Amino acid sequence: MRILVTDGMDKSAIATLKANGHEVVEQFYEPDALGQALRDFDAVVIRSATKIRKAQLEVAKDSRLKLIIRGGVGVDNIDVKDAEAMGITVRNTPNASSNAVAELAIGLMFSCARYISIAGHTMREGKWEKKTYGKGFELGGKTLGVIGYGRIGKRIGDIAQGIGMNVIAYQRHPKPEYECETMHFVSQEELMAKADIIALSTPALGEPIINANTIASMKDGVVIINTSRGANIDENALLEALNSGKVRAAGLDVWTEEPTKNEALSTHPAVSALPHIGASTSEAQKRIGSEIVSIIESF
């Protein structure tokens, strides 16, 4: 097969593909050139930066392209239905990055609870703001609400329970076997009202889950964590709630627009802001690469 890798891939996985006789081309294409480029490949491997929309698919239609692989969980940067209607298979790697994303979500909770991001920043400026940032809180004993209790969400919940948190979760199709003394499924409305910290772990659902109305139903001083998709939060509503104090802090790894231009939110002192690095661990990238190789060889 002739394989295009647009957003990078684990080097050992590329070496394996080449050793197996495939031709691998690593090159990023801008949207207006991507469709034509796809015509010359049997498969394309993308991550977050490349978006394969109907416009690119129409150009690549009836070519040698038969397989699109998203190295990661979500496939919202691919127009899946249009691809499949053209006979192009779309696959992803849902298992490989779950632990990496879950650990980052927990890390963002600690950062919000103990002012790690902003306090560390002031240290770089030569300041000693012990009084300002010495009023954090402990995660143990708090109620974590996880919206989306799939692979990543459950891993977040497992770690949270391990550090003494009580977990409530909303899932469209809950699995009763996941419940225990420190983990229960609830309605989304109950979760919003009861959680001290809310973590989003669900695909983009079209409308923001966190908006002015849902924020109003939350506890005062709630913390919001998003390692899912930027579209799940109305950034203007979140910024207003941070400024009013309704939301105490937010940990954000994903943004409505990436790279984000929302400096008011990304530089807010109550926000721990990251550039979409949830799956960016060496271990996760090796697992993703291995899963991609398996998909290609199976295909």
So which residues are the catalytic ones? 229, 258, 276
Nearest-angstrom CA–CA distance, 168 and 146 = 6
CA distances to 126, 168, 201, 227, 259 from 121, in Å: 9, 33, 28, 22, 21
CB of 248 within 8 A of CB of 270?
yes
Residue 69 main-chain phi, psi, to 5 deg: -120, 125
3-state secondary structure of 6: coil
Interacting residues of 141 by C-beta distance below 8 A, sequence separation 6+: 164, 165, 166
CB of 45 within 8 A of CB of 9?
yes
Number of C-beta neighbours around residue 101 at 10 A: 25
- Enter the DSSP assignment of 219: P
Pick from 164, 173, 172: which is nearest to 144 by CA? 164
